[in-house]
Chain A
Amino acid sequence: MTTAELLGKDPVWLIVVKAVIVFAICVVSTLLAVWTERRVLAKMQLRTGPNRVGPFGLLQSLSDGVKLALKEDIIPAAADKVVFIAAPIIAAAMCFMSFAVIPMTGKVNLFGQETAMQLTDLSVGVLYILAVTSIGVYGVVLAGWSSGSTYPLLGGLRSSAQVVSYEIAMGLSLVAVFIYAGSMSTSEIINSQHDNYWNVLVLFPSFVIYVISMVGETNRAPFDLAEAEGELVGGFHTEYSSLKFALFFLAEYVNIVAVSALAATLFLGGYHAPPGLGFTEAWLGGWFTIVWFFLKVNIFFFIFMWLRATLPRLRYDQFMKFGWKVLIPVSLIWILIVATLRVIQQEGASRTVLAAFAVGLVIIAMAVSSLYERSKKKSEVPLVEGEAPDFPVPSLPGVTSLNVSQQTQTGSKNE
């Protein structure tokens, strides 16, 4: 029985219960994520981090949240009020929605019903997550615009350009997964990995591209140009306070957990135990798989923190150049290779054909890179000064243009 059929049998009350559980998981994981991040960053910077409220400072983020909620809620005079209020709601709501299709356990027993800890299973589940996150960006962009102030506007614009460009790379990295799994549904992708190898091994380049673009997509360091404290104060949320700011905060962390969960689902076999530890599922029952799921999510969350502690923020043009000129072409070429290999495999070609194909690819890659190096050397030759033209032309490389404005000025003086 597939997961979609299993979930189709859920009664309404069970769906409501699961929705509440998913919501609670998101909120609680945000609270824990903030605490974990502060503690881990502190460790990396040889500090202690929050350790006063509750055991190990665990309740620090809760008390911070309460404090934030009790603060004064300010709406700037120049703000567009309706959009200003709607923006954080859009941002937060969409993050929660993306969690609906993420499978957290296999088949489990919840209040006497056979089900899976997944709200719904869509045949285009992964695309659904992409769609929902791209609506979520509206929250950020509209927040930037509606604040009626310069820094938020710049932050919002940066964020929109950033997400649009990194979403392309992210979408392309997912294509290889779809080709290999033969499906776009999250549960089917997990099953296909369970039957074969994990995608992180088979599709390693896709995995790397996805991990990079997921950091870009969530506006996190080193890609946090939309909120860059040094340049833009707080970016899109500069003018927000109290609960509205808390909603953005919540959205950011839920988003991180969501993209991490998607990464675990697509590349690390989802809720299944790592190879060799499959007996844990059989011994401890379906509910134990949630432990594996959260372990994998936490690996990615740790990568997020590690990046933040290690790397300085990118300059905006470098960041865009990296997205458009490196990530997108690389993933396009990789998709081409994956698709060709897949077709060769399906046609039932022998291993020699596959090996020949791989060797051919390597030779082409080496040829292209050596040609690229040569062209690079040629372009380093300084531009040769051409003859000065007799009439004003727009300035071109190697041509000294006549300065039109100066000529007309001297002309008028002579008259």
Chain B
Amino acid sequence: MLEIATPEAVLFWVLAPLSVVAALGMLLVKKAVHSAILLAWVMVTLAIFYIAQGALFLGIVQIVVYTGAVMMLFLFILMLVGVDASDSLVETIKGLRWIAITAALGFGGLMIALIGRATLGRSYLGLDIANEDGNVEGIAVLLFSNYVFPFEVISALLITAAVGAMVLAHHQRTNHRPTQREQAIARFRTGSLGDAAGLPGPGVYALHNAVDVPALLPDGTPAPTSISATLKARGDVIDSAKFQLDVVDPTIKEEK
């Protein structure tokens, strides 16, 4: 069996249970976003294990790649499932649960068999031989000599997938989209010049500036365009007249 140094053993026994708990939690928590966070945690702990085992490059790349990937997953959850989406436990396809359990058991069995075949009855060669010329160089040699073909095939596959997704999501504009400049010109050419500078903001200066109080025009009448149409439709508009000063005191002299 391989010798495990004490700090590494401590690291393993602290992080491994946390990692397993997080992996289980990922399946059991209800909110999809919590699942994504726990997935990120599992990925990070795996990376730490890789680093502890001497595969420094693999560990760091694991973090760089998977944090980005989980971030995308996070975006997808928010965009497609919803901000506060929770799992519904209703079976939509009949017998899905049993199929899933069978597949999971099969996959687990496969993993155990593979790991057992790779480790049991074989002597541990160690990373020292693989890392002889440096960890990064070792990976580079393998990746660009023995495994260059699978590596290229996978990258072609990924690029095809990315391009396919873009084609599916692509939407061609049928009409010209006005630029900011064109919009600005149009504002001055059409309609009244009064609207060209934008709508007035709500609120009565220095007395009440909430969005539900119409601004006052110079003649003292409320400006209806200063209030959002939504608020108006809801009836949430407060009369701005009550924030006006009744009498302007003429005795107050302007400060010089």
Contacts and interface: CB of A to CB of B under 8 A. Distances in A.
B210 to A, nearest CB: 15
B74 A160 contact: yes
B63 A397 contact: no
Interface string A132-146: 101101100110010
Given A138-B40, A160-B74, A160-B75, A131 B60 contact: yes
A397 B177 CA distance: 13
A89 interface: no
Contacts, number: 73
B75 A161 contact: yes
8 contacts: A83-B37, A123-B56, A127-B64, A138-B67, A142-B37, A153-B83, A167-B68, A397-B172
A141 B74 contact: yes
B33 interface: yes
A397 B67 contact: no
A124 interface: yes
Interface of A: 80, 83, 122-124, 127-128, 130-132, 134-135, 137-138, 141-142, 145, 153, 157, 160-161, 163-164, 167, 171, 184, 382, 395-397, 401
Interface residues of B, number: 28
Given A83-B37, A123-B136, A397-B174, A145 B78 contact: yes
A382 B174 CA distance: 11
B61 A127 contact: yes
B60 A396 contact: no
Contacts of B83: 145, 153
Given A145-B83, A161-B75, 11 more contacts: A122-B56, A123-B136, A124-B60, A124-B135, A128-B60, A135-B63, A138-B71, A164-B72, A397-B172, A397-B174, A401-B174
A396 B57 CA distance: 48
Contacts of B60: 122, 124, 127-128, 131
Which 4 A-B pairs have CB atoms at the shortest separation, nearest pair first?
A131-B63, A395-B174, A134-B67, A127-B60
B64 A396 contact: no
B71 A160 contact: yes
A199 B75 CA distance: 37
B138 to A, nearest CB: 11
Contact of B64 (A130, A160, A401): A130
Contacts of B256: none
A122 B74 CA distance: 30
Contacts of B44: 135
User: Which of B34, B61, B67 has the most chain A CB within a 10 Å cutoff?
Assistant: B67
B117 interface: no
B122 interface: no
Given A123-B135, A124-B57, A134 B172 contact: no
Contacts of A141: 71, 74
